[in-house]
Amino acid sequence: MDEKSDIRNNLPEQNIKDDILATGIAHDLNNILATISGYAEMLNEDLPKDSALTEKISKIMSAVAKAKALTNQLLSSDMQTGWDKKTVNVNDILKETVELFKSALPPGIKISSDIPEEKIILFADPAQLFRVFLNIVTNAVHSMEEKGGIMSVSAGVVKGNHIKSLFNREVAADQYAVVTFRDTGSGMDASLMQRIFEPFYTTGKGGKGKGVGLYVVRGIVNDLGGEIHVSSKENEGSVFDVYLPLVN
């Protein structure tokens, strides 16, 4: 029996049932996404070439493509086998994430962004990178739902020595991208911060979240040779700094 089977057999029965349910939902979502994609393509073909709606249709199709990539990875027996790593501009993925949320924010919550025009190039799976940003922003929005607030997103570059000093580890590159997510939400105390990356641990109210979002985020970031630094204060908000090695 391989290590993966061992781990699965040691999971609680409810977790295995949740995995089976997630797989079924992923199949259903793929069917729905295929319908959305099909109608979007037909609309695009019917529109005049100079239509102002063409760009919006393009964004719908781009979002569907990302969603399909994520559901296909959920359906894979080993998610990492489905990863398609390539050189990617982290700023493009970050902008798409911000644009997606700006159109569907609850009342009282705003997102501001400071994303440079200069390219910041990583070697990563674009869908997985999008998943990292999506999960962090989702958590931030949930933390601000009761009282509202502001989510600030920024990107930049730091020296590898900064990573070495901050995390006390050897570095994988001379320079790292740093993507910062800052919210003014409910924040966390020290005991909660120690557990946020644990699988199946969640503080979500009303059944929101299964407690795997940040666990998955850390796994993806670690696979890319990166790190996550978190700071937070109760009733003041949280800051997530995601460090990812640049392509040399």
What pLDDT score was predicted for residue 79?
A: 46
Q: Of all residues in the chain, what percent carry a pLDDT higher than 90?
A: 39
Please give the mean pLDDT across all residues of the chain: 80
Of 63 and 241, the one with more pLDDT:
241
In the predicted model, is pLDDT for residue 74 greater than 80?
Answer: no
Q: Of all residues in the chain, what percent carry a pLDDT higher than 70?
A: 78
What pLDDT score was predicted for residue 68?
A: 77
Q: Report the distance separating Cα 209 and Cα 245, nearest Å.
A: 29
What pLDDT score was predicted for residue 201?
A: 58
In the predicted model, is pLDDT for residue 101 greater than 90?
Answer: no
Q: Convert the pLDDT of each residue in 105-121 to its tens digit.
A: 888 999 999 999 999 99
Q: Convert the pLDDT of each residue in 143-196 to its tens digit.
A: 998 999 999 999 999 999 999 999 988 888 999 999 999 999 999 988 888 888
Of 152 and 4, the one with more pLDDT:
152
Write b or e for each residue in 27-63: b if 16 or more Cβ atoms lie within 10 A of its Cβ, otherwise e: eebeeebeeebeebeebbeeeeeeeeeeeebeebeeb
**Residue 215 pLDDT class (50, 70, 90 cuts):** confident
Domain spanning 83-245: CATH superfamily: Histidine kinase-like ATPase, C-terminal domain (3.30.565.10)
What pLDDT score was predicted for residue 47?
A: 87
Of 206 and 140, the one with more pLDDT:
140
**Residue 11 pLDDT class (50, 70, 90 cuts):** very low
Domain boundaries, the chain: 3-79, 83-245
Q: What's this model's pTM, rounded to 2 decimal places?
A: 0.70
What pLDDT score was predicted for residue 129?
A: 92
Contacts of 156 (CB under 8 A, 6+ apart): 116, 120, 177, 178, 180
Distances (CA, A) of 103 to 143, 175, 226: 18, 33, 30
- For the ranges 2-6, 123-127, 134-138, which has the lowest average pLDDT? 2-6
What pLDDT score was predicted for residue 123?
A: 94
H helix intervals, the chain: 3-10, 13-46, 54-75, 90-102, 126-143, 160-167, 190-193, 213-223
Quickly count: other Cβ atoms within 10 Å of residue 134's Cβ. 19
Q: Convert the pLDDT of each residue in 35-64 to its tens digit.
A: 888 888 888 888 888 888 888 888 888 888
